[in-house]
Amino acid sequence: MEFVISTRYSIMKHFLPTGDELIIRPPEHNDAAGLLASFQRLTRETDYLLFTRSESMELDIASEEDYIQSYTDNPNQLLLVAIVRDQIIGSINVNHTGLHKKAHTAEIGIAVEKQWNNMGIGRRLITAMLRWTESRAALRLIYLHVFSTNEKAMQLYRNFGFMECGRLPNGIMQKNGNYVDLVTMYLDLKR
């Protein structure tokens, strides 16, 4: 693993079981098309995202550029992309509301394309995100929402110490019309 220190992030490089190199880094302005394409592929292959396929298709490169810029402009937020074979295949983000009373909390989101599942990419994205949180003294709690049917993701989060703290019964309507609980999990960074 190699680290290149920048002003806000480390660029991480790993080798996957396939022999491919995985790069985890902040997105650049010119990554907008690749990040959008990855997100649209994700909405095609999984029902575990809040966006539907048709909603993701309404997004464009300009909106993705604005999305990237919103993270670049805010030192209290993080967006990292996972790149394999010069293609963005996943990402993780940390979102802060900006509200003083919630200054110690942030919400995270993570997604990895199906072709690259079971290769440790999600684990490496979470590790990179947690390293970033170490430099945020005011940040105490991070949390996420996950579909109750996504047991594999919930186990990954548990492996990092996340604990379930609530459920919204039938909080998500999947594309097949079935309802599933929306689970909230959190990690106390100062424990």
Strand, coil or helix: 22? strand
How confident is the model over 85-94, as pLDDT tens digits? Answer: 999 999 999 9
Prediction pTM value:
0.92
For residue 165, what are its two tokens? 């703290």
pLDDT tens-place string over residues 143-170: 999 999 999 999 999 999 999 999 999 9
pLDDT band at 98 (very low <50, low <70, confident <90, very high): confident
Those residues whose C-beta lies under 8 Å from the C-beta of residue 8, and which sit 6 or more positions away, are 26, 75
Residues with Cβ within 8 Å of residue 17, at least 6 apart in sequence: 119, 120
What residues are paired with 8 via a beta bridge? Answer: none
Kind plus residue range of the DSSP H or E element containing 4:
strand 2-5
